[in-house]
Amino acid sequence: MLWITLFLSLSILPSVATAAPLPVQSGEHEGFTRIVAQVPNGSSWDVAHIGQTVTLTLPADSDGFDTSNVFNRIARDRIATIKGDASSLVLTLDCTCRISTFPSGPDYAVIDVADPGVALPTPLVEIANAQPLEEQPEISADPRTAEEPAAPAPVLPLIVTAPPPKQPPPSLNLNRTALNDAQQAALAEIQSQLAEELGAATTRGLLAPSADVPRRARAQIDVAEFDVPAPPPAPVEATPDPLSNMRISSSMDMPFAGQNSGAGVTREGLSCPKDADIAIETWGDPETFDQQISAGRSALFGEFDRINPDAVLDLARSYLYFGFGAEARQILALAPDMVQDQRLLFDLADIMDHGRLSQPETLQMFADCSSDIALWAIIAQDDRPNGSTLPVSTALRTLNKMPAHLRRFLAPHLSRRLLKHGYDEAAATALRSIERLPDSLSTEAQMAQAQIALKEGKTDTGATKLETIVEENTAQSPKALIALIDTRLAAGQPISFETASLVEAYAQEHRDTALGDELQRAHLMALVKSRQFDRAIAEISALNTRADPEVALPPRMALLRELTASADDIVFLDHILQQPVLTIARLDGPDKFDLAARLLSLGFAAEAQGILATEPESARPARRQLLAAKAALALDQPFQAQAALLGVEDPAVASLRAQAKAMAGDFDEADDLFRQSNLPAPARNAAWLAEDWRDRTPADAPVYGPTAQLAASQQPVSDDPAGMLTRTAAALAESAAARDTLSDLLAATAISTLEDQ
């Protein structure tokens, strides 16, 4: 414990140096590991490969190298240790690797450590004084050598077969003996775990330096190439683990963190699970179910009836291979330690059992991993897209590796999730992976096919598939019925009375469940579309009293729209006039205008005006203003009508404004506006009532034209006695014509009285 405390203390001490060391970065590639070290700008440097040691040497003292983050991205299968001093960086190899080096600009030195046989694009560094691995002498474990500073002499061509035992500084005077090999290995493992956890904490922002350290301004290289996941390390024989009774954990531990070198990391710094940990396709054989499960159960209990953890893990994996999620969870529960160590298996069991996760957050975090975990991470996603890019190709490749029985189960779930996130073609591809199997498709797969057809706009095809699923009366039938009703609603198609009755039965069967709520909504919509308005009103009112009013709002809005569009006049008025104005105000603008227009057509101008008044001042389109003007005119409000038409550009504006002018007594302007609108009849009426009616009334206008001519005509006056009889006859004829004209005018403008009625 003292060693652990000492290491922790030294690890988190803030730097007190006046200058920052040069950073060293790393990355895994296919067949080789890359080390990139920053060097002083424009300085010369060289790399020597001597035995199992690679040394980068600078010509003069620098600020040293910062190697604290090197092993955050790479494993220790090629490079065992990396150490730096004031003028050199030393890599100790753990393989018979080849070395290549090259500069990257004036500020960086790149060292590639490649496996034998891997071709590198740059020249190799010649090995000096190389000896076979088994012939190299061990470095002495003398404590004094570990404490003495390294001399600037060339590195000896020796292989470090075991790190020298660390001794406490003399100033502590602990009188400790040298550590044996097992203790030294345990200490190295502790240091490795602590370094990984500190690196992960720093990446996630949980750990930050306590003192500001000035850093020189340097041009940064693109380290995106370091994100390439490393290949999984080669399997090694099991050896006694000196840390088997030790565990380092904290409240900030994340699943799989620090346990998956070479498998890639997420954007949040979380290690992706290795493919070997979830290689479900290798956990069984479809031909040996009974033998595999029987043997697995027999091996559960060992001596003294103790649970065998390895047998628990093997049997749980077998159950998962055959698709038995609940059974896998029961077996894993026999070993409580499995809950934490095998959390991923519990998540897979949930998906096998329910097709979804009750707590999907863990798997969702791996949605950017380009490995087999991508399949399960996508299935665990929510229905609502979050804008992130999903590893679709990787998930499809993983799906195709699955045995046929698992593919039949997983493909529909993957397809629906991809469809929700906008990957339509990938969703169809997932289904095609099971369509070519010899057996018929499950109802889940048929449901996914229908959803894809609907998403592609093939409404008839999708509706036909949904009807088939409904008729089969399976577990998917209620969901198919909901989708069928939604499809017909979107297409504006009617819903039969029988369909409404069927969804009502399903809603009763699944009441008090999430699916029951969806069925209740579908039932209300079916009642509306089947024009069962009385029942729909009663059901919506009951739902409004026993649940959140917002739950009843969508079907109530659908009811108002359907009443406006298809109900008979009496049914329409009977229900609409009973609705509170605040409820009608929740309608969308176009639906609200349709409702007001129908009320106006039936003579309910005041009610229409009240509905239009609920529209916000900031959102008053031309149609709303035209309807408002019509309602005002119907209510003898000419000035309010003119105000509603201000700034509105529409062909109907002139006619409505003319009516408002005429109603307000401005007949001259009304006549002009009626003429502009090509409305001769109201124009004649306005001209007749204008101040200058004699000039405005056309001569050919019925009734009014002759009257205007009569008023404008004048009989010539003469004192000449000659022709008196002629003038008298003309005057009598004019008088008779005037009498006839006035009679016609009086008849055309007769006002009925109560006696006439």
Q: What is the pLDDT of residues 566-592, one digit of tens each?
A: 888 998 998 899 888 888 888 998 999
Per-residue pLDDT, 329: 87
Per-residue pLDDT, 221: 40
Contact predicate 90/111, CB 8 Å: no
Per-residue pLDDT, 618: 75
Per-residue pLDDT, 594: 94
Query: Which stretches within 602-676 are classed as H helix?
Result: 605-612, 622-634, 638-644, 653-663, 667-676
β-strand partners of 84:
89
Contact predicate 527/500, CB 8 Å: yes
Where in the chain are the domains? 2-208, 276-354, 359-439
Q: Within 10 A of 228 (CB to CB), how many other CB atoms are there?
A: 15
Instruction: Point out the residues of the chain with pLDDT beneath 70.
Output: 1-19, 60-61, 129-178, 182, 189, 191-193, 195-264, 268-269, 303-304, 338-341, 386-387, 544-550, 688, 690-757
β-strand partners of 101:
111
First and final C-alpha spacing in the chain = 115
Per-residue pLDDT, 671: 80
Contact predicate 524/483, CB 8 Å: no
Strands (DSSP E) contained in 32-139 are 32-38, 46-50, 53-57, 65-66, 79-84, 88-93, 98-103, 108-114, 127-128
Contact predicate 138/161, CB 8 Å: yes
Smallest Cα–Cα separation from 105: which of 224, 225, 226, 222? Answer: 222
Give me the helix-helix angle, 589-601 and 569-576, nearest 10°: 120
Per-residue pLDDT, 526: 87
Task: Tell me the whole-structure pTM to 2 decimals.
Answer: 0.46
Per-residue pLDDT, 610: 92
**2-208 maps to CATH 2.60.40.3500:** yes
**Longest CA–CA separation in the chain, Å:** 163
Distance CA 132, CA 115 (A): 16
Give me the helix-helix angle, 549-566 and 514-529, nearest 10°: 20
Per-residue pLDDT, 5: 47
Burial of 636 (0-12, 13-18, 19+ CB in 10 A): exposed
